[in-house]
A and B are shown apart, each in its own frame.
Chain A
Amino acid sequence: MKRKKLTPQLKFEAMFKYITASSATIVLIIMLLMFIQLTYNSRLSIEKFGLNFLFSSSWNPATHEYGALASIYGTVVSTLIALIIAVPMGIIIALFLVEISHPVVSKITGNAIELLAAIPSIIYGMWGLFVFAPFFADYIQPFLINNFGDIPFIGKLFQGAPMGIGMLSAGIILSLMILPFITAVTRDVFIMVPAVVKESSYGMGSTTWEVTHKVTLRYGIKGVIGACFIGLGRALGETMAVTFVIGNSHLISASLMDPASSIASTLANEFGEASEPIYLHALMQLGLILLLMTFFIQILAQIWVGKLKKSMGTGL
């Protein structure tokens, strides 16, 4: 038998390693450059406001007083609302698709959910502004305001006029946008849990609910948390949909009915009008804050998953 010369393979192997390594390095370099660029381009604002930028909620282009607090607050709260709605719902839908519904139903619904994830965010924004907001203002908000507005403490969240747009609307639209993602990943995690693990849980005399929240969910917790954090990342930075429905006000209000602004919506709205260097630099600094927030949240996620692994030895 004639033997093949193996030298070309070895060369290819070396090249392949080189290509993969350099692609990975490029990603790191791009991230670093972004950070440097954003910091450099926000230097005027950093010099002028210092740490105060983080804690001031004034945003006044006329007097050139800038503070990020209102935008940070809006970003965090709208994202929290989105997660509070989308995480439990995503997990429940995934559970239904994997454990309960007929395989044909699962397949069709599963595909529909993946399609939802592919809808561009501008569509969500337009739908939110023209369809969801009027409906919300006419039916849901009056209900919330009338029924919860007078309760001590939490009533503060539900006061004001039913305008349709505002913090809560932005949170709900965001939740719809990240729901398909969380559902799809959680479903895949549930599917990957070995049948024999579920069987041994059922075999102990557990109900479907017990199997799911005590075993299946824990088994795949790494994947589910990963999905939630990617959803979180998307919600944090989501621009178009939020800009349409959040109301774009720089006032911090306790009520979720009131208009607000997020970092991304402020950037989208105000770059065009930012003529003064200090205005531009303040916006750049907002961008820098968003980048750092996303970065630290991902690190937190890693630490959390690592801790979980130590205490329960998750499977996936």
Chain B
Amino acid sequence: MSVVSLLHSKASIPEELQKNEACLPLYYEHLNTPPKVSVCGLDFFYGEHQALLDNDIDIAPNKVTAIIGPSGCGKSTHLRVYNRIFELYKDQKAKGKVLLDGENIFSSKINILELRRKVGMIFQKPTPFPMSVFENVAYGLKLHYAISKSEISIKVEEALRRAALWDEVKDMLSKPGMALSGGQQQRLCVARAIAVEPEVLLMDEPTSAIDPVATLKIEELIDSLKQKFTIVIVTHNMQQAARISDFTAFFYKGKIVEFDKTKKIFTNPAQKKTEEYITGRFG
């Protein structure tokens, strides 16, 4: 049994969820909705090297969940399971379950392209594609929707507005995405990801490669995005986790040491290791 499962009493789990297969979804006592993503007994291997050990975590819908921990503890690895992007590499293997809305993403019924539409990802370095600002945002729309040119324009504007980038780029939509500043590029990637109307947004240290002002903008953006999306963010910066997240998971050496409401983690952590980390004694 992991720490997480001990934290939450099973009594509060709705009956329909309790019936769910072998793995009992873990649940937050104060939430009345089932978790958006539920990870059960997740192990991860890079060849022989095991990078994740028995991860259990529930991701609450329309909340920001932060993943913190010292570098090399498996934060990125954990995140990269949610959209099965690790499968691009033949030597990487995941064992265990990841349920998205109660359905195992490793099940053969899952269409991987549809899964990746539902679970968008933002990387540490901005990754604009070699095309114009407009085409960058339209990229996923064209992949997943059969819509007309005018509808695409509307959706592109909508996504850019939601990513708080519209006003800055509306006069340069035909310029290459790579011509934007680093912070703008990162918001462009956010716009590109949310244009396809995903349900979950994974962000792997999205602000570690951009300047403080741009970071602030991204943080404000994350706050506004959680109305519509479920957000999981890996961050190296504990202040950032404290500022923007509702829940925080502390990872150490591939294990989830503690997972709780952010406030609790930063004021009164249950584990000694967590306390040592947040007070800066290692990491």
Contacts and interface: CB of A to CB of B under 8 A. Distances in A.
Chain B interface: which size bin? Answer: 20 to 34
A201 B129 contact: yes
Contact of B116 (A203, A311, A312): A203
Contacts of B129: 197, 200-201, 214-215, 218-219
Given A204-B139, A204-B143, A205-B143, A312 B131 contact: yes
A215 B136 CA distance: 10
B139 A214 contact: yes
B121 A205 contact: no
A204 B117 contact: yes
B123 A200 contact: yes
Contacts of A196: 123-125, 127
B83 A203 contact: yes
B123 A199 contact: yes
Contact of B130 (A198, A199, A200, A314): A314
A99 B114 CA distance: 21
A205 B130 contact: no
B80 to A, nearest CB: 9
Interface in B68-111: 83, 85, 88
B200 to A, nearest CB: 12
A201 B116 CA distance: 10
A120 interface: no
Contact of A200 (B113, B121, B176, B178): B121
Contacts of A206: 113, 143
Chain A interface: which size bin? Answer: 20 to 34
A199 B113 contact: no
Contacts of B144: 205
A202 interface: yes
Contacts of B114: 205
B143 to A, nearest CB: 6
Nearest to A217: B130
Interface in A198-226: 198-207, 210, 214-215, 218-219, 221
A313 B179 contact: yes
Nearest to A210: B143
A199 B85 CA distance: 7
A203 B139 contact: no
A198 to B, nearest CB: 8
A203 B125 contact: no
A205 B132 contact: no
B209 to A, nearest CB: 11
A207 B83 CA distance: 14
Interface in A274-316: 310-315
A310 B112 CA distance: 34
Interface string A109-126: 000000000000000000
Nearest to B174: A311
A125 B117 CA distance: 52
Contacts of B112: 205
B280 to A, nearest CB: 29
| B85, B129, B192, B193, most chain A CB atoms within 10 A | B129
B189 interface: yes
B88 A205 contact: no
A272 B239 CA distance: 82
Given A200-B189, A204-B117, A218 B131 contact: yes
A221 B130 CA distance: 9
Contacts of B35: none
Contacts of A203: 83, 85, 116, 120-121
A134 to B, nearest CB: 44
A313 B193 contact: no
A200 B127 contact: yes
A3 B143 CA distance: 65
B196 A205 contact: yes
A201 B85 CA distance: 10
Given A197-B127, A219-B130, A311 B143 contact: no
A200 B193 CA distance: 9
A200 B144 CA distance: 15
Interface in B176-215: 176-179, 189, 192-193, 196
Nearest to B113: A205
A200 B202 CA distance: 12
Top-6 shortest CB links A-B: A313-B176, A313-B178, A205-B116, A200-B127, A205-B113, A203-B121
Given A199-B121, A204-B116, 16 more contacts: A197-B129, A199-B123, A199-B127, A202-B116, A203-B83, A203-B120, A204-B139, A204-B143, A207-B113, A215-B129, A310-B176, A312-B130, A312-B132, A312-B176, A314-B130, A315-B130
Interface of B: 83, 85, 88, 112-117, 120-121, 123-125, 127-132, 139-140, 143-144, 174, 176-179, 189, 192-193, 196
Interface of A: 194, 196-207, 210, 214-215, 218-219, 221, 310-315
18 contacts: A194-B127, A197-B127, A199-B88, A200-B123, A200-B129, A203-B120, A204-B116, A204-B139, A204-B192, A205-B143, A205-B144, A214-B131, A218-B129, A219-B129, A310-B176, A312-B176, A313-B128, A315-B130
